[in-house]
Structure formats: C-alpha cells, structure tokens
Amino acid sequence: MHPEILKTLVTKTDSKMILLVMDGLGGLPVNGKTEVEAAQTPNLDRLVAENVCGLTDSIDRGITAGSGPGHLGLFGYDPTEYEIGRGVLEALGVGLEMTPLDVAARGNFATRNETAITDRRAGRIPTELNKKLCAKIADAIPEIDGVKIIIHSGMEHRFVVLFRGEGLDGRIADADPQTPGLPPKLAQALAPEAERTAEIANTFIRKVEEVLKDEHPANTILLRGFAKYPDIPNMEERFALTPAAIATYPMYRGLAKLVGMTLLDTGTTVADEVETLKEHWESFDYFFLHVKKTDSYGEDGNFEKKVAVIEEVDRAIPEILSMKPDVLVVTADHSTPALLKSHSWHPNPYLLVNRYIRPDEVTRFSERAFVHGGLGRFLAKDGIALMLAHAQKLKKFGA
C-alpha cells in the first residue's frame, strides 16, 4: 500500500506489537536441513500451528539486502526510496548526534603489512582496546583542513568517525578492499562535489596509520558507508506508533533511532533483551526486539552455533508471550546461510501471531514449510500494514 494512503488510515490504540527479528535467520540445507530445520523449536512450532505464516523478500526477488535496507523494510519503509548510509546508522547507534555539516563513516581497525590488508578486523580486538585506540587518535588528530574529526568506539574492532565542516559531501566509495590479501584502498569521490571530502578522509587514514604504527594487530583502519544524514519521516508521524528498540549492536540501534524509536538500554543476551521488554512494556506500543547472533554465526559459517541461537530464542518465547502482545511477528531482515557465509537473496520466514487470525495448515517453523503459508510471499515493507491491521490500528478505506 502507498504510504500516504496508509497514513490516512492509521489510528492510535492501546494495542501492543512486537517485531522479533532474528537477524539473518534464513539458511540453506546442510546434510538435508537448514539451520532453522535443524533447530529444536517446540514453542515456535506451536505458534505456527495456531497462527499464519509466509515468506518475505527484503527488497525484491533475487536482491540480496544489507542489514540497513533489510530492517528499514521491516519497519515499513521502502528501502529503494530511503537509501541510508551505514556510517549514519553506526553514528546514531553509538549515541553520536549528527548535524547537517557531518559526513559519517563506519570504521574497522585492521591489520596490514607493507603491501596488503591481512586482517580486516584486526583479530576482532577487545572493545576496551578499541576505546584506548580511539582516544589516542582523537588526541592526535582533532581536525584536518578546518574539518573537525569526531571518533567514537564501537564494539570489538568497529568504530565511527564524523567529519564535521562546511561543504562536505558523502558521495564517496569505500576505503576498504573488502577482501584480505588485497592492497589498501583509499576513498574515492563519486561526484566532483565530494573530492575535498575524499581527500580529507584519505589524509585522516594516513595520519591514523602514523599514530598506530607501533600497534599490533590494529595498525590501520578501513572506512566505508560514507553518508550524510537523510530526511526520513518517523514512525510516530507515519504509523501513529510510540516505538522502542531493544538491540545490542550500534548499527541496529542507529537505524531504530533514525525512524524515531526510543533506544532502550539492554544486556547482551536474549534473556537480557526479554527482561528489558518486560521492564518497559507499559511505556510503548511497538517494540523492535533484535537478535544479532543468528547473522554473526551465519557469516562465520558456523551452522551449529546458529542453530543454538535459534533454540535460545525459542526458549524465550513463553516469556515474550507472557506479556500478552496483541501482535507478535517473528521474522528476519535477510537470510545468512552458513553454507554461503554471507547475506543472501533467499526469502525470509514470517510468522504472524494474533487472536484475529485465519490459521493456515503449516505446523513447523521452517523455510520449507512456510512456502505453503497462508500469507504467501510478499515484500517485507508490506508487513507493517498486516501488523497494524491485526492490532486494529487501521480504519477502513472508503465509505
């Protein structure tokens, strides 16, 4: 449905919705079963048998989604209309406030030798070391050519940098070769207006390497996702919701903040996140509950650990249901099969739980079973209308 039409139908109610996202949930068969099929999920299976399910495409058929576009679709926004740079999401996720003067970039501490990048993540250095290195860089490089440099640590090897100054432009290709064994790559302007910004970014990289020359394994940096702050309507304006986000990783918190969600402090486990949900249940009517490790283990090619995370979420389902949500959706932003060790284009499981349901005949929580679900196969961005309708937050269209 067109967002402007949907906006005319939404109405504020007391009903509460939960969007439970198991990041990268979908998989491919290994020894005959996907990770979802290999997992023991009695609680999710019961919900499937009593409710309705289907499959979603994050962007469109055959298109592999990044995490940003994948989540934006789940929140009800067309990811092809609102293209958001990863740097912005990371910056917001770590609590930085962006201004119209800023260009944000997502960074990795990395390892290099004389000719090549040997480790894009510097051995996933501890977060505490990351903080020390960011402080060291901040002291040594406060500005470049009148542009203020703001650096903030993330988790493990990740950090964020803001370039703040007049006339900056975020249309810059990643300064990241993406593959170990290749030479370092400098930032490259994608438009004439971005030439100065690219040169400042490259000067920053060179200066950082000088600061880190005696460090190991973090002796260089990679920058990607250069972007300026986008103009995007928030979920309260668009869907008459009071939304909150329960997520651990900065990028997902950043995306949630971008669409107007309140960021709730939480711990690192699924149990911690469910406890946060219970603590704040009365204050919001929409909760985004994010589980990261399904994606992480998929990218690592670790089939067994991805299965274990799915089972951990299944064990948390009774606690989530104890809150008596009016709508619960269990889905993913994209697939990350351990077989591929990367995001993929395969459709995502989508389970809709509500009292006003026409149940289908599916009884198992799995990609293969959901092919036969009553919701069919649809674009992820259309899921918000299903959630709103089943929560009785949509008026009828027309007389």
The per-residue pLDDT for range 4-14, each reduced to its tens digit, is 889 899 999 99
Local structure of residue 16 (DSSP, 8 states) = -
Give 350: exposed, middle or buried? Use CB within 10 Å, 0-12, 13-18, 19+.
buried
10 Å Cβ neighbour count for 63? 13
Instruction: Identify the pLDDT of residue 97.
Output: 85
The per-residue pLDDT for range 169-188, each reduced to its tens digit, is 999 999 999 899 999 999 99
Say if domain 3-82+232-390 classifies as CATH 3.40.720.10: yes
Flag whether pLDDT at 1 surpasses 80. Answer: no
d(C-alpha 318, C-alpha 46), whole Å: 11
Is the CB of residue 7 less than 8 Å from the CB of residue 238? yes
Instruction: Identify the pLDDT of residue 399.
Output: 79
Which whole-number Å values give the CA distances from 114 to 117, 125, 172, 184, 210, in the listed order?
A: 9, 21, 25, 10, 13
- Confidence grade of residue 230 (pLDDT, cut at 50, 70, 90): confident
Beta strands in the chain (DSSP E): 17-22, 52-57, 102-112, 117-119, 143-144, 147-153, 158-164, 172-173, 188-189, 220-227, 243-246, 262-263, 286-291, 327-331, 348-353, 376-379
Taking alpha carbons only, the member of 123, 311, 86, 301 closest to residue 216 is 123
Instruction: Please report, for the chain, the start and end positions of each structural domain, with discontinuous segments joined by +.
Output: 3-82+232-390, 89-227
The per-residue pLDDT for range 322-369, each reduced to its tens digit, is 999 999 999 999 999 999 999 999 999 999 999 999 999 999 999 999
Tell me the helices (H) and strands (E) count for the chain, helix number first.
Answer: 14, 16
Instruction: Identify the pLDDT of residue 331.
Output: 98
d(C-alpha 399, C-alpha 397), whole Å: 7
Backbone angles phi, psi at 145, to 5 degrees: 50, 45
3-state SS, residue 28: coil
The per-residue pLDDT for range 112-130, each reduced to its tens digit, is 999 999 999 999 999 999 9
In this prediction, residues 28-35 reach a mean pLDDT of 97
pTM exceeds 0.85, yes or no? no
Local structure of residue 39 (DSSP, 8 states) = S
In the structure encoding, which two tokens stand for residue 236, read together? Answer: 């309260």
